[in-house]
Amino acid sequence: MSEESLFVAALEASGTDARRRLLDEQCQDNPALRQRVERLLANHDRACGILDRNDGRFLTPGNGSSGIHSRKEYIGKTVGPYRLTELLGEGGFGLVFSAEQQSPLHRTVALKIIRPGMDSREILARFDRERSALALMDHPNIARVLDAGTTENGHPYFVMERVHGEPITTYADQKHLGIPERLQLFLHVCQAVQHAHQKGIIHRDLKPTNIMVAEHDGQPTVKVIDFGIAKALQQQPGDSSFYTCTAQMLGTPSYMSPEQVEMNHDDIDTRTDIYSLGVLLYELLTGTTPFERERLESAGFDEWRRIIREEEPVLPSSRITTLCMEATTVSTNRRSEARQLSRLCKGELDWIAMKALDKDRSRRYATAIDLARDVEHYLHHEPVDASPPSSLYRFRKMLRRHRAAVLVTLLIMFLLIAGIIGTSIGLLQAKQAQLNEEQRAEQEKLQRQRAERAELEARHQANEAKKTSAVASALVQFLRKDLLGQAGSITQLGSQQRPNPQLTVREALDRASARLGDRFKQEPDVEAAILSTMATSYQQLGQYDKAASLFQQSLKLRNNETDQDREEVLQTQNQLALVLRELGRTKEAIVLHEKVRDAYSRLLGHEHPYTLTAMDNLAVAFRDAGRRTEAMKLLEQVREARTRVLGAEDPATLVTYHNIATMHLEAGNNIQAIAELEPICEAKKRVLGPDHLDTLPSISNLATAYWKTRQLDKSIPLFESVLGAQRNQLGNTHPATIGTMANLGVNYRDAGRLDEAITLLKQALETSKQQAVQLWVSNELLLAYTKAGMKPETVRMIHKNLSLHEVKTNQTSLEYAAVLANHAATLMGMKEWGEAESMLRKCLAIRQTKASDNWLTFHAQSQLGGCLLSQKQYAEAETLLLQGYRGLRNITPKQSEQQHSRLILAMDRLIQLYTEINKPDEVKKWQTEKESLSKLTGIK
């Protein structure tokens, strides 16, 4: 028996005599082994006995007390600047108290006093080193370590943020959270762990009691506690006190990874936390850990380590079916039935959990964010990365189990094929020589092509310089006299313009554009350059219609074939494409972007910065057109090339990283978008500055991602900073400023700051000139009015919104019918029955014409019947309600949960009708029908 196993067995022996008999039996031929084990046992008894006796040496209070004989007597004592107020719990490392910090500020904290017998000086030295890393952690889901020190008697203590709440599994069971809600909580845990890993911190003891959930403003907030404590208490190589107390085994058996139970802490990396997250996910799904706690606790030290290292856990879906009497409790806590819960876990959730729990850590998720991303894929009904072990992997596991037989077989096979290999070597060598010669020829060809491209680019630049020289002189004269010269009132008067001492850039551009006329009719290059310059100014002012018109006029002047590859023509085409995208003319923009990309690729090569910019712009146009696969493929090509050619923090490279993160955000991959946008924003602030116009879109997108994940405490300050910078640099009427104004208004609304929300949304609606933006903002403002209970304003906004839709949308289309239905539902909620009835009749007429058999048509009939029922128009209401119900009943069994709920609602309206007109038999009939359907669908 090994020294380690013998030590643990001796600890478990009952009484001194039993321990001596065990040592006599195991060490009769090895007195040195017995001496080492007895020394370890003596250290253990001396260290652990101090804690068990409570003889006053565990804690020396600051008031000079001679000793404390009961844990309750700790209450009211002081440790450093902290006064102990409540015993929260006792763990393997010592006692945890709630404490009040006395100075330099007053706050409530959690204070952990470490078990005696551990080397205080060594522990504090390690913790001081660890705190430099812990201080970098700043995450809303991580409880911070605040302080550390020693008591007057030399016992170490740690001070942590006081976290109120319940362990995550307890909270989920008490609230009867379904699987989707549990997975949402789990995503926040993954985010916290990912943040810690990025800062170089491994938890080592992730378990429900270290993951607390509390509610703030009705929303659950996750807090991971004890980060860094395990590492601070970790034994260093060569530390002779490794077995000071058995509780110093780092971790909790049910949640420990196979590599962690080896007790070789130098071989622990972030993937041990991935395993513990897998155990947590397993427990959230099934109500139990992969290996039952009772079994591990009853097993000996070597046995439970063997179980974790060697045994494969049962799939979560299979575990649920074996829970017997506990299955009812587990499924009820998850708002489901045992059979339904097993079906829900079977497949993708099984795969995700088992990938995180793989004993081979190289096969686990590489990072916590990868695990979170797969859970998000499941929640969004997208393919997950996890999959069952492959046949090859199972074959390799079989080889390990039957190594001897396999080695013999392989030796025989080796002897059989050795001759074949020998005869093949000569052929391979000849083939390699031929391949080397071909590669050398290819290298020479590439070098010649590079030289030719360099020469072509130099010739191109020389030609462009000649053509540009004459244009530049005339352009400078026009801009100096006709544009910038208007700054003075006397010059304006001389040009027959009404003097305006407060002349704006926009007015100066309008006047210069009007005066251009035929002045440069004989100099098309000059006129084209002037038009492009003014168009760029309009573009930067957000006047996209005027910019597009001037860019197009400029291109018409350079329409001959010899001009098509000129630098200024390609730049003008690129700028026109960008403007067309802003105007929603995406197809035209794509044609121009492709033309520019092809020209630059032909003239300058595939990796020239101009070519890469054209490719990046084309990818964004593809995204706007809904061609997301093409867009992402092209952006990844540009990212790889720009990173290699320009560097990871070049402003152009950061633009591509931003565009890729934006695609993840638009696809609903919010956690991945946050993980990518946070470092992008930091890099742009560092390289360009926090208020740079290229930095602000990334900050705005990060704020949007925080908003989508309901982190309003983070999104609102970011939107406020972006809006302030845009107002200073672009003004209140620029489209970008208006968009941020509306986004901040939506955030204020969702945070309950309704007055501020309404003010901003009204300003955005009144300022915007773009129809699509007006529609979006009017919808958000309507929701704000509704939430604020402002009935007259809500009704007026409904009519304004309808007017905007009537300009944009065909009034006989199903899209317009959907708008009518939504507004009618809002009006019914305010008991505006007459207005709602009018809209529902229009909606129903359109749907009966365009989609008579669609379930939405029958739902509209039921809605209209309910509206008439509220107005006591019983005869027509009954006809519509019965027609709507029958239509929904015929379709719904094949359809979604949403349509099932509409059918239940239609039956509720019929029950209300027959109750009001006093037909009890009909009421009973429909109530019975509803109960039957509810049992079938699970919808109340």
Residue in the structure block whose two tokens are 């007195």: 31
**pLDDT, average across residues 397-415:** 67
- Per-residue pLDDT tens over the stretch 441-456: 888 887 887 777 667 7
- Other CB atoms within 10 A of residue 591 CB: 12
Do 804 and 774 contact (CB within 8 A), yes or no? Answer: yes
> Which segments of 287-402 does DSSP mark as H helices, in order?
293-298, 301-310, 316-321, 326-333, 338-345, 348-356, 368-379, 391-401
The span from the CA of 566 to the CA of 554, in Å, is 13
**pLDDT, average across residues 872-900:** 82
pLDDT at 356: 95
The span from the CA of 727 to the CA of 708, in Å, is 24
pLDDT at 190: 96
Question: Which backbone phi and psi does 535 adopt, to 5 degrees?
Answer: -60, -40
Do 137 and 144 contact (CB within 8 A), yes or no? Answer: yes
Do 775 and 804 contact (CB within 8 A), yes or no? Answer: yes
CA-nearest of 308, 300, 323, 230 to 268 is: 230
Cα separations in angstroms, 830 against 233, 462, 797: 62, 72, 14
Helices 735-750 and 712-729, axial angle in degrees (round to 10): 150
Residue 111 has pLDDT above 80, yes or no: yes
Active site residue 205: yes
Do 846 and 817 contact (CB within 8 A), yes or no? Answer: yes
Residue 483 has pLDDT above 60, yes or no: no
SS3 for 100? strand
Higher pLDDT pick, 442 / 713: 713
Give me 240's structure tokens. 């002779």
First-residue to last-residue Cα distance in the chain: 63
- Other CB atoms within 10 A of residue 174 CB: 11
Residue 55 has pLDDT above 50, yes or no: no
**Which H/E stretch holds residue 301?**
helix 301-310
**Listed range (52-61, 69-78, 809-818) with the worst mean pLDDT:** 52-61
**pLDDT, average across residues 475-483:** 56
pLDDT at 228: 59
Largest CA distance in the chain: 118
**pLDDT, average across residues 683-695:** 93
The span from the CA of 112 to the CA of 94, in Å, is 7
Q: Per-residue confidence at 670, pLDDT binned at 50, 70, 90?
A: very high
pLDDT at 490: 40
CA-nearest of 298, 296, 334, 289 to 316 is: 289
Residue 241 has pLDDT above 50, yes or no: no
The span from the CA of 434 to the CA of 441, in Å, is 11
- Cα 840 → chain centroid: 39
User: The whole model's pTM is what?
Assistant: 0.48
**87 beta partners:** 97
Residue 121 has pLDDT above 80, yes or no: no
pLDDT at 901: 82
- Per-residue pLDDT tens over the stretch 536-592: 777 777 788 888 888 887 778 777 655 566 777 888 888 888 888 888 888 998 999
Could you give the percent of the chain with pLDDT greater than 70?
Answer: 78
The span from the CA of 790 to the CA of 768, in Å, is 23
**Which H/E stretch holds residue 225?**
none
CA quadruple 859, 863, 868, 872: dihedral, nearest 10: 100
Could you give the percent of the chain with pLDDT greater than 90?
Answer: 35
CA-nearest of 375, 368, 386, 331 to 206 is: 368
Give me 29's structure tokens. 């031929």
Give me 936's structure tokens. 């079938």
Higher pLDDT pick, 70 / 760: 760
Q: Per-residue confidence at 247, pLDDT binned at 50, 70, 90?
A: very low
**pLDDT, average across residues 680-689:** 94
- CA atoms within a 13 Å half-sphere pointing along the CA-CB vector of 760: 23
pLDDT at 366: 94
The length of the chain in residues reads 940
**pLDDT, average across residues 55-79:** 55
pLDDT at 545: 83
Please provide the average confidence, as pLDDT, over all residues in the chain: 81
Give me 754's structure tokens. 């309704």
**Listed range (29-43, 213-227, 740-754, 803-817) with the worst mean pLDDT:** 29-43
Catalytic-role residue among 173, 205, 358, 370: 205
- Per-residue pLDDT tens over the stretch 771-796: 778 888 988 998 999 999 999 998 89
**Listed range (93-97, 290-294, 520-524, 808-812) with the worst mean pLDDT:** 520-524
Residue in the structure block whose two tokens are 């590859």: 565
Cα separations in angstroms, 115 against 48, 88, 112, 156, 158: 8, 15, 9, 8, 12
Q: Per-residue confidence at 405, pLDDT binned at 50, 70, 90?
A: low
The span from the CA of 147 to the CA of 787, in Å, is 45
pLDDT at 749: 94
**Which H/E stretch holds residue 149?**
strand 145-150
**pLDDT, average across residues 120-137:** 63
**Listed range (369-378, 568-577, 855-864) with the worst mean pLDDT:** 568-577
**pLDDT, average across residues 500-514:** 57
Do 693 and 722 contact (CB within 8 A), yes or no? Answer: no
- Per-residue pLDDT tens over the stretch 716-728: 999 999 999 999 9
pLDDT at 479: 59
**Which H/E stretch holds residue 84?**
strand 82-90
**pLDDT, average across residues 799-824:** 86
Give me 455's structure tokens. 């020469």
The span from the CA of 851 to the CA of 177, in Å, is 38
Cα separations in angstroms, 161 against 63, 107, 214, 227: 25, 10, 14, 11
> DSSP assignment, residue 439?
H
CB neighbour list of residue 153: distance below 8 Å, 6 or more residues apart: 57, 58, 59, 60
CA-nearest of 416, 415, 366 to 386 is: 366
**Which H/E stretch holds residue 486?**
none
**pLDDT, average across residues 11-32:** 75
